A and B are shown apart, each in its own frame.
Chain A
């Protein structure tokens, strides 16, 4: 049984002017237990929408979403979600942010705090327990978000361009750390990104979506050995080979999406 399965899902949104916008069309995607799947595609192809369907934040207009064989019906609390923007609570200290999940799930405060301290140590934030998020750098806030999500030991981890706001160096370091953390509990991951290099470096499987409305254009198995060091793997000959293959599939879609934005810019 697959950890995540999207079966022919279509998602339409109502637009402000009364029309409908189709974000996803007839998309099917399967992620196995413990598999790291990266989804790449041009801007506006509905990458993030796939995550909201798996997490239950949105329902598909057509088709079905399954998690561990169960149809997704409302918010899936067994699912971890790391957002693109900061979604840590700015009015809570770092420790209280990380302890939030266990408390919501019924642990008592003391137990949750002990667990939160342990997770802060694992993401390298010991000593910052009492800070507020605004007192941290962007990379540190991301690590708070990771600890906040991973402390619940989700079997499904959804990540929506989590590192896109970070500088290149921090991003590579965070990616390596993410792989290490993932290795400890091995959840099934869907990692959405527009960065092909990041996708190949992290994933077991890269899925290329078409320019919106998004549907699966091609899937690629990434057979690079683990453990990987994200900062260095891009020099591996096999990496370059894979990159060229996947880029071939992605290029046309990126050009198409870009064309559309320039055309609509001229039209408006």
Chain B
């Protein structure tokens, strides 16, 4: 037996190396790393060229906009101008805003969005998996959740502002409500799509119902859940901003709102730029989290890498 298995083992490890070499551009195995290293310089040059082209497009677009303003084709009173947006950002950074330092505004909005995102996601995952696993629960609550999902929930912001006031609480709750449904439906769907064989195998190996949920359903549903988290942080940010626009005493939303009240479109656009930076940073962090949590998957299914 030992002889047979060791010969067999050797045979298998060669096929394994061959497989790894084929895996190519996103290697996980030692054999693949060497071939990737050889290709590295060309890849880097390509990435730099791409970044250059993208930067060029942005520069051209901004320059055209500015030129149109100078040629009086675009009225900066309504549409703002790049120079003005830049100046506003510089002022906010150096002097501060009408409602205190810029850092403080960003932190408040971030705090609301992150809290809403975390609470909404956890609630969504817990409820989604509970309903996905327990048929009775989904039979009872399914229709309610569908109905709740079909109403424009952003309107609830008005109620929350009145009920919970101008502080951070009303914004967090609005963000939670927006985040919850996306995560919930994905977690629910994900827990229904688990491979029946994996569940049967776990049960036969001796897993209890709770262990099946924790060790099979949850990791399997995570591919679905993580997909929804990408969009959900955007929703959380929208919840926080809309909440602030509806009524607040601090935050980026309020900054945008007061710029609008002063007919300062450059201020509105500067606020937008800051929000975009926050959203992109969060997206990057979620992608990192995804890579970490889904490292068990074969590399070719990391579809996101191609878009980076």
> Which residues of the partner chain A approach B5 to less than 8 Å between Cβ atoms?
122-124, 177
CB contact under 8 A between A92 and B296, given known A83-B197, A83-B201, A123-B5:
yes
Instruction: Determine the main DSSP class of B at the interface with A.
Output: helix
CB nearest to B222 among chain A residues = A91
Is A22 part of the contact surface with B, judged by Cβ < 8 Å?
no
> Which residues of the partner chain B approach A152 to less than 8 Å between Cβ atoms?
205-206
Bound form: Cα–Cα A213–B87 in Å: 81
Say whether B4 contacts A176, CB under 8 Å. Answer: yes
Bound form: Cα–Cα A83–B4 in Å: 24
Partner pick for B219 among A76, A91, A148, CB 8 A cutoff = A91
Say whether B200 contacts A173, CB under 8 Å. Answer: no
Interface size class of B (residues with CB under 8 A): 20 to 34
Say whether A139 contacts B12, CB under 8 Å. Answer: yes
> Which residues of the partner chain B approach A245 to less than 8 Å between Cβ atoms?
none
Say whether A77 contacts B29, CB under 8 Å. Answer: no
Interface size class of A (residues with CB under 8 A): 35 or more
Bound form: Cα–Cα A91–B298 in Å: 10
For chains A and B in complex, what number of residue pairs have CB atoms within 8 angstroms?
Answer: 92
| Mask of B19-55 contacts with A, CB within 8 angstroms, 1/0 | 1100000001100000000000000000000000000
Say whether B4 contacts A90, CB under 8 Å. Answer: no
Say whether B16 contacts A135, CB under 8 Å. Answer: yes
Partner pick for B1 among A81, A87, A134, A177, CB 8 A cutoff = A177
Is A137 part of the contact surface with B, judged by Cβ < 8 Å?
yes
Distance in Å: Cβ of A134 to nearest Cβ of chain B: 4
List, sorted by A's number, 30 A–B pairs whose CB atoms are closer than 8 Å: A57-B204, A75-B203, A77-B206, A79-B204, A81-B200, A83-B197, A83-B201, A87-B195, A87-B197, A89-B198, A90-B296, A91-B219, A104-B206, A104-B208, A104-B211, A105-B206, A124-B9, A132-B295, A134-B297, A135-B29, A137-B12, A137-B16, A137-B19, A139-B12, A140-B12, A173-B4, A173-B8, A177-B1, A177-B4, A177-B8
Question: Which B residues lie at the A interface, using CB under 8 A?
Answer: 1, 4-6, 8-9, 12, 15-16, 19-20, 28-29, 195, 197-198, 200-208, 211, 215-216, 219-220, 295-298
CB-CB nearest 5 A-B residue pairs? A124-B5, A104-B206, A87-B201, A91-B296, A101-B205
